[in-house]
Amino acid sequence: MSVSNLTESQRRAVDELFRRLAPVADELGELFVARGHELALVGGSVRDVFLGRIGNDLDLTTDARPEQVLEIVKDWADAVWTIGIDFGTVGVRKGGWLLEITTYRTESYDPASRKPDVEYGDTLDGDLARRDFAVNAMAVRLPSHEFVDPHGGLPDLAAKVLRTPASPEQSFDDDPLRMLRAARFASQLGFSVDAGVVEAMAEMAGRIEIVSAERIRDELDKLLLGARPRAGLSLLVETGLAAHVLPELPKLRLEIDEHHRHKDVYEHTLIVLEQAIGLETGGPDRVLRWAALLHDIGKPKTRRNEPGGRVSFHHHEVVGAQMTKKRLTELRFPKDVVADVSRLVELHLRFHGYGTAGWTDSAVRRYVRDAGHLLERLHKLTRADCTTRNKRKAAALSRTYDQLEERIARLAEEEELAKIRPELDGNEIQEILGLPPGPVIGQAYKHMLEIRMDEGVIGKEAARESLLKWARDNDLLP
């Protein structure tokens, strides 16, 4: 199919791409042709053109081997990198464009290995046939601008459906990670998944075990940061894939929540995730979304049947935080992400004590201090966690949290809550007690921090007297 076979709107999209990309695309294409090689824009870069999303990162494919690609671009590119060269990919920067040029290839998994075996191919059609979905198996040859679509990707794009170029069974056997990609694209693009593809995902779900934790993490992360994560997560659960990559999620379907207001904790979790997304500012928030997804995963382990047919989940936030840390660590997330998400899960119920008993200023200070840099995210997670259908109750919870935020703001103005420190620093404590640095000074510092949290600012002299009394009570002074 050539560009002339496209509809008017599709032709305009291609023309806009090459208006922006020229002369980079044509220059590079001519360089490859001059050396006797082919070059084509391919995959997501072509798909996104028809979706009206033209970025500066482009994927290209060629029959040239990586060492030949390096030779062709060495005097043309502004920068070259070879981090993916073992998989046939050479990275190139030209002006504001970032290009990844990959040799035609096929790849498959040995049953005993977590790494795919990569073999180079010789034709563009062969390369497109091995790609994950038909919407990603379109190409535009360079520099001729010939549009190539052997697997009907353009009609699929119009129908917003995901099909595999080969049979789903063959495609997923070649690379099981494609099953997760189907869920990811359902989230990112809002596409439905062909019934045959869904059936193959369910039958072959266990095959995902061969894929490395890092590759699974990347797909799950992209799914969760997509525009419609519920669609992708639901597909993972329904096909059984979630049981292998995020087993805590499907287990929530078995747990009715303590208020009997929701279908189950799984449904509640998806609603909390959607409501947290609705509170985001400045784009997708990885930490907030993962915390929303995992905030109740401790409930199955802590479920108890209570008198009157009620169900309780006491301390599920503590258990959930431990489970969150374990799961995210196994998925090889960075330590700061693991720590932040786990902390939010641990703190997500803290607010409910404020609504039932009221808090002193000391309790508000502790809430802020314990949340630290996560305070704004904790505000959003706590608000998102209200999924009651009782409008009166929901309004009351919202008003109560408004009051807490107002108190935090007032105290913050007065005391700089986020920077609370004892009124006496370590050097002053040593001088007053006449002791050298050591464990006792550390204990004294913690005591003075408790005084600061409980009583606020009391002044240096009162702080000194409190320290001396503590020291005498603990037999630290004559």
Q: Can you give the pLDDT at residue 216?
A: 97
The rounded Cα 12 to chain-centroid distance in angstroms is 34
- Give the tens place of pLDDT for each residue, 428-472: 888 888 888 888 888 888 888 888 877 777 888 888 888 888 888
- Give the tens place of pLDDT for each residue, 137-187: 999 999 988 889 999 999 999 899 999 999 999 999 989 999 999 999 999
Q: Is the pLDDT of residue 62 over 90?
A: yes
Region 116-124 average pLDDT:
82
Domain 3-158: state its class. alpha beta
Is 82:160 a contact under the CB 8 Å cutoff? no
- Identify the band that residue 406 occupies on the pLDDT scale cut at 50, 70 and 90: confident
Q: How far is CA 296 from CA 29, 206, 314, 323, 331, in A?
A: 53, 25, 11, 10, 19
Q: Can you give the pLDDT at residue 6?
A: 64
Q: Which residue has the higher pLDDT, 464 or 14?
A: 464
Q: What is the Cβ-side half-sphere exposure of residue 464, based on CA atoms within 13 angstroms? A: 10
Provide the residue ranges of all domains of the chain, joining segments of one domain with +: 3-158, 160-246, 261-420, 421-473
- Identify the band that residue 114 occupies on the pLDDT scale cut at 50, 70 and 90: low
Q: Is the pLDDT of residue 337 over 90?
A: yes
- Identify the band that residue 391 occupies on the pLDDT scale cut at 50, 70 and 90: confident
Q: Which stretches within 22-84 are classed as H helix?
A: 24-34, 44-50, 66-73
Average pLDDT, the chain: 87
Q: Which residue has the higher pLDDT, 53 or 163?
A: 163
Q: What percentage of the chain has pLDDT greater than the value 70?
A: 89
Tokens of 141: 């040859």
Q: Can you give the pLDDT at residue 156?
A: 93
Region 86-92 average pLDDT:
92
Q: Is the pTM of this model over 0.85?
A: no
Q: Is the pLDDT of residue 389 over 90?
A: no
Check if 3-158 and 160-246 are the same fold: no
What residues contact 5, with CB distance under 8 A and at least 6 apart? 147
Q: Can you give the pLDDT at residue 59?
A: 93
Lowest mean pLDDT among 1-15, 392-406, 444-458: 1-15
CATH 1.10.510.10 matches 160-246? no
Q: Can you give the pLDDT at residue 425?
A: 85
Q: Cα–Cα–Cα angle for 409, 411, 414, nearest 5°?
A: 110
- Give the tens place of pLDDT for each residue, 180-232: 999 999 999 999 999 999 999 999 999 999 999 999 999 999 999 999 999 99
Q: Which residue has the higher pLDDT, 107 or 325?
A: 325
Q: Is the pLDDT of residue 254 over 70?
A: no
Q: Can you give the pLDDT at residue 324?
A: 97
Lowest mean pLDDT among 218-222, 320-324, 376-380, 437-441: 437-441
The whole-angstrom separation of Cα 449 and Cα 359 is 19
Detail the DSSP E strand segments found in 156-270.
161-162, 192-193
Region 343-350 average pLDDT:
93
- Identify the band that residue 312 occupies on the pLDDT scale cut at 50, 70 and 90: confident
Tokens of 16: 């806009």
Strand-strand pairing, 105-109 and 97-103: unpaired
Q: Can you give the pLDDT at residue 108?
A: 61
Q: Can you give the pLDDT at residue 355?
A: 58
The whole-angstrom separation of Cα 266 and Cα 264 is 5
- Rg over alpha carbons for the chain, rounded to the nearest Å, is 29
